[in-house]
Amino acid sequence: MNHKQIDLLEVISDKKNSNSEIESLMKGLLVSPWCCPNELIDKYVTKSLAQILKQYQKYVCLIISRKKKFHWFKIDFAGIGFSLYDKITKEKVNFLSQLIIYQESIREDLEKEKIDFNTLATYELGALVGLYIYATMAIYDVAGIIENQANPRSKVPFFVIKPLYLNAYYLTVFRIDCNHQSKLSDHTILMDLFREANIRQLYKNSQDLIHLSYLLIDKKLSINIRYLSSCFYPAFQKLLERVQLLIYLYHLFLCSQQNCIPEQSILINMSQITNSGFSIDEIENLIDDKGHRTGFYNTILERTSTNGILTLKGFDLKYAFTIHTKNQLDQFLRTQDNWFEKSYVIPYLQNEMNSNRFIIGNGFKRSNKYKEQLPNYDVDVVIYDKKTDIFYFCQIKHRLMLLMTSFRDTVKKYNSPFIKEGVNQLIALKKIINEEVIKQQIITAFQNTSLTKTMIEKKNFSRSSRFLVLHNLEDFDFCTCQNVTMFEWNTFRNLLKGRISTIYNKDEKVEMKEIYKELIIDFADLDAVKTNHLTNKTEPKMPFSRSNHLELKIYRICEFKVFNKRIFTFKKIESIVPYFT
């Protein structure tokens, strides 16, 4: 892989760090954008976009200050509308889908102003959603990723991706869509499983619920019971108890829904839960488990004014696992350092991968002997692929409380030590990959494997080396940073195993069946990974794979009032922007 891979997060990050004013501007656009200084917007944001952005700032400031001036006639902002244009599917999006994207950020920012999100009218939410969309577009504009395409027949601002960044844009949408498709697939499979008669009556410590808990703890938290040493068992048991309760509640919620995608909360009787083996203390502890994060998913179970009746909200399993198993995970992590790479990932690779194709070598790092002569490099595991003659030098990172529910969180964490440390250590290795001392360490790494010293000495590591950061953060799946490729652990192991889809067997209890097709590609080449994924998908093809790019048309809805009485409502197209989510 000789070409440099561009990541939009990296472009934004580089621009953000280019000077202090742009850093201040981007911070202002990401957090409470109604407070972002107009002088910085005027200086760096394209004029047509800046005008719309400042108009929405004005709307939102009026909402926050609750000030209204009386005019005998006026035109008021009354809402926002969207349509997503795709040349083939003509797919549409609605206000609710856009609200969900920004809801967590909006809630957090409004809390600082002591405003309850739930008290806002629809048109007020529309103003906020519009502001956050345009603030996001302004960041892409300042970073030089989008541009206003002049159209002499229309005065409507039309922003498009610059040709240089089109491929990076496709990868960004691919990443988001894969994340969404994975969650949707999990949701659909679990809904069907739960509704099967033979597992409808789940109860605590039943074989079905235990097995399902093991599967989901592995996928959502990257903890696999088969690769845990005995010292982990007491902490894991406490984690398992909480996860069983969360899965049981998820089961109750899904089975109550008529549609594939749940949309509302439900009322349940506490006895429904206790009759399945869960204690009142377990339930009460979950209800009181608040405060780990503000916003939409603050808690999933709440008391009502009626004794014994609870409100159960719809929730995302990964989020619920991470938030509502925090205490159990803290105990688990205190048991041993570096458990993820040493106790799980490396043994998993050694035992689960096709040994006729992949050879797994040990990690290595700079020794104190070369502290003054060599940069600080560190590798956790080396994977050699016989079919492609490629060595993958991997850094492995694991975090449990980095929940990125918004664009601004992702931008912030992209610059965090969690990402940068691993990337910098691999870049240091890349610069000296052909040094004799490195070659000797690689020979030692593959000692006692079929990859011999003679074979390694013949390799040209400048050509055959790839550098990967493996982690458990789905928002950084299919990412790059300084040409180091980043994969979420579940994605990477599925690529190595050639897994293209998972189905379940209705005739068995909680039985998952995986479909495999060997992939002979450069796994660090995200273009190749994307092409392969789209070619082998068993589900319908993604919209972005069939069109040059998706256009999100934004409409402003206005009301003409006389003496505060609405005379008529009209809608006009306000702008056309790239669709990022």
Span 388-418, pLDDT tens digits: 999 999 999 887 655 556 788 888 888 888 8
**In angstroms, rounded to a whole number, what is the distance separating the alpha carbons of residues 20 and 171?**
29
| Segment 462-479 mean pLDDT | 92
Q: Terminus-to-terminus CA distance in the chain, angstroms? A: 28
- pLDDT value for 442: 97
Question: Which tens digit of pLDDT belongs to each residue from 512-545?
Answer: 555 667 889 999 999 999 888 777 654 444 444 4
Tokens of 18: 């280019």
- pLDDT value for 474: 81
Query: Any residues with CB less than 8 A from the CB of 452 and at least 6 apart, and which?
Result: none
- pLDDT value for 296: 44
* Full DSSP string of 41-72: HHHHS-HHHHHHHHHHHHHHHHHHHT-----S
Residue 280 sits at the vertex; the CA angle it makes with 275 and 285, to the nearest 5 degrees, is: 135
pLDDT band at 334; cut points 50, 70, 90: low
- pLDDT value for 210: 92
Q: Which of 179-183, 247-251, 276-280, 384-388 has the lowest mean pLDDT?
A: 179-183
Tokens of 88: 């083939």
Question: Which tens digit of pLDDT belongs to each residue from 97-150?
Answer: 777 778 888 988 998 898 988 888 888 999 999 999 999 999 999 999 999 987
| Segment 423-445 mean pLDDT | 96
| Segment 421-436 mean pLDDT | 95
Question: Which tens digit of pLDDT belongs to each residue from 33-89?
Answer: 999 999 999 999 999 999 999 999 999 998 888 766 666 667 778 888 888 765 555
- pLDDT value for 543: 47
Three-state SS annotation for 186-227:
HHHHHHHHHHCHHHCCCCCCCHHHHHHHHHHHHHHHCCCHHH
- pLDDT value for 199: 54
- pLDDT value for 70: 60
**In angstroms, rounded to a whole number, what is the distance separating the alpha carbons of residues 225 and 214?**
7
For residue 525, what are the CA distances in angstroms to 171, 420, 478, 485, 487?
11, 20, 10, 8, 11
For residue 261, what are the CA distances in angstroms to 311, 329, 581?
18, 29, 18
Residue 95, Cβ density class (10 Å: 0-12 exposed, 13-18 middle, ≥19 buried): middle
Question: Which tens digit of pLDDT belongs to each residue from 18-32?
Answer: 999 999 999 999 999
Average pLDDT across the chain, whole number: 83
- pLDDT value for 544: 45
**In angstroms, rounded to a whole number, what is the distance separating the alpha carbons of residues 65 and 61?**
6
Q: Which of 244-253, 338-347, 455-464 has the lowest mean pLDDT?
A: 338-347
Radius of gyration of the chain (CA): 26
pLDDT at 295 over 50: no
- pLDDT value for 87: 52
Q: Percentage of the chain surpassing pLDDT 70? A: 84
pLDDT at 192 over 80: no
- pLDDT value for 546: 40
Question: Which tens digit of pLDDT belongs to each residue from 297-309?
Answer: 456 888 888 888 9
Question: Which tens digit of pLDDT belongs to each residue from 90-99?
Answer: 556 667 777 7
